[in-house]
Structure 1
Amino acid sequence: MPSLKVEILIQIKEGFLFCLSEPFRQFKIGDSYIPKSFYKTVGRLEKEGLIKKIKKKKEVHLRLTEQGKGFINKHRKSVLRASPAWDKKWRIVIFDIPENERNLRDRLRRYLKTLGYGNVQRSIWISPHDFTKIIRRYAEKMKLFEYIFQITAENFQGFSEAMLVEKFWDIKEIDRKYLKLIERYQKKKKQLEGMIKNSPGRKDISNKIFYEYLLWDYRDILNKDPHLPPELLPSDWGGDQARQFVKSFLQS
């Protein structure tokens, strides 16, 4: 899942977030974000020179600066890269948070899910990626350090890697979404080509809008993808096909 910083920049770029009046009606913020963190991040983005505020009557509108546009372009290229090599180890997070801290417990579950962890049981989560330092910082920040335990394992007796993936992640559903994305936009591309033939003067803007929508929908699936190592995925993984499909438009 992208950080709140990246989410805000992308939303401004796409035109979904352009005004600070009642932003939560316009901006789909994840459960882990609160209004205070939203406004704080907007202020930090302005200080970093990535956005600028423009006052229009009683409203404050947001615009990307050239530096902000460059940041988003760099981010978009990064989402098309393949996952890093796997060290063949599994990371397990176990927690026992008291009932009177139920809200923090639920927030931790959502946070682990956004990192791509698979749910073994309600208080046991697993990932092939090393998020040890990230989880430690989160635990310290939320004052949950004494309740969270992290374990690194190399294998599970009685379970193959394929069995673990099938049991703890809905890979088939994510694969289906990637393939549906390709199918849907292949049809849209043919429709677009017909429109451009009738209105050649709108070719550039039409291609840009098409690509923006494609990237938006692709990123939505990426947010749900646990980004498992290639060794744990089927050889015809839809995520690889979708990445190449999107990349072909970026390079054209």
Structure 2
Amino acid sequence: MKKLLRTSDRILIYASFLGDFAYDSIKNSSKSRNLHRPAFLLGSSDDGAITRTTYRLLKANSLEKIVKNGKPYLRITPAGWDNFCRDFPLFEFQDKPWNGYWSVVNYDIPEKERGVRNSLREKLVSLGFGQWKKSVYISPHDFGGDIRDWVSERELDSYVSVSEARELSFDEKKLVWDVFNLSKISENYDELLKKYKEGKIPVGKILQEYFNLLLMDPLLPKELLPNDWLGFKVKKALLGSGKIK
């Protein structure tokens, strides 16, 4: 799911993944650099762009103003969430319980169609699929319909099959650890958590690194992850810091 982040993307990722943030922190962003502002803004060199983008998202009904404990906050709206998930489809599945089914894509595309084959692989990777075998990609998320549409539009039905499977392994946690290279992702989260605890790097920089890691994370269901998954620990640490609200 690796993708370059626009200012609007960072704001919506913050709102969708880490929750509401103070309206005054945006309203006064060009006048203040205190820690009550959303931390991802702290490393920005253009406060005005962030303020303008936030107001544009409010006008487009992607964000809404709410009141909590007598103070105004910004929250992502259902419309904003839908638009956001079109660009970052994996986020739609965060915190949702897994139904136990896998999307399985198997292909046999001739060498003369190498370009099409590469495009299919890129599409699968963009949706967070992992390569299980040479020409087989899997995902615990329900992207079967998306892939079928993509395949049909390119008239590749005779080369590509899309199916659902209930069980792929006796130890599916071990399966995803290998297929999705979770050891590397865990290592990245561990390094970020250490940086955060050391307190030598501004919270805004930490949060920017966190967002970049999220874009490389397949965001697998909790049922397939270790109970002590470091992605959970990093999110909990950031939410509990009091510095990003």
TM-score range relative to shorter protein: 0.5 to 0.7
CA distance in 2 between partners of 1:80 and 1:98 (Å): 34
Q: Which runs of 5+ in 1 are unaligned?
A: 14-60, 193-209
CA RMSD of superposed structures (Å)? 3.5
Residue pair 1:114, 1:224 contacting (<8 A) in 2 also:
no
Aligned 1:44-123 pairs, distance under 5 A: 64=53, 66-68=55-57, 71=62, 74=76, 82-123=94-135
Compute the TM-score of the two structures, normalised by the length of structure 2.
0.62
Compute the TM-score of the two structures, normalised by the length of structure 1.
0.60
- Please point out which of 165, 176, 180 is paired with 2:187: 176
- Identical positions, percent: 30
Alpha carbons of structure 1 residues 149 and 80: separation in structure 2 relative to 1, 3 Å? closer
Q: Secondary structure at the match of 1:126?
A: strand
Alpha carbons of structure 1 residues 180 and 111: separation in structure 2 relative to 1, 3 Å? same
Q: Secondary structure at the match of 1:151?
A: strand
Amino acid at match of 1:219: F
- The one of the two structures with greater contact order (alpha-carbon pairs below 8 A, sep at least 6) is 2
**Within the alignment, does 1:238 sit opposite 2:230 as a pair?**
yes
Q: Which runs of 5+ in 2 are unaligned?
A: 12-48, 64-74, 86-90
**Within the alignment, does 1:227 sit opposite 2:227 as a pair?**
no
Query: Any idea what the Cα deviations from partners look like across 1:148-194, whole Å, max 9, x if unmatched?
Result: 2111111236x32133223312112211211211111222x3x47xx
Alpha carbons of structure 1 residues 153 and 250: separation in structure 2 relative to 1, 3 Å? farther
CA distance in 2 between partners of 1:174 and 1:64 (Å): 31
Alpha carbons of structure 1 residues 234 and 89: separation in structure 2 relative to 1, 3 Å? same
**Greater alpha carbon shift after TM alignment, 137-146 vs 177-186:** 137-146
Match of 2:144 in 1: 132
State the number of aligned residues: 183
Q: Secondary structure at the match of 2:105?
A: strand
Alpha carbons of structure 1 residues 91 and 11: separation in structure 2 relative to 1, 3 Å? closer
Query: Any idea what the Cα deviations from partners look like across 1:36-60, whole Å, max 9, x if unmatched?
Result: xxxxxxxxxxxxxxxxxxxxxxxxx
Q: Write 1 or 2 for the structure with the bigger share of helix.
A: 1
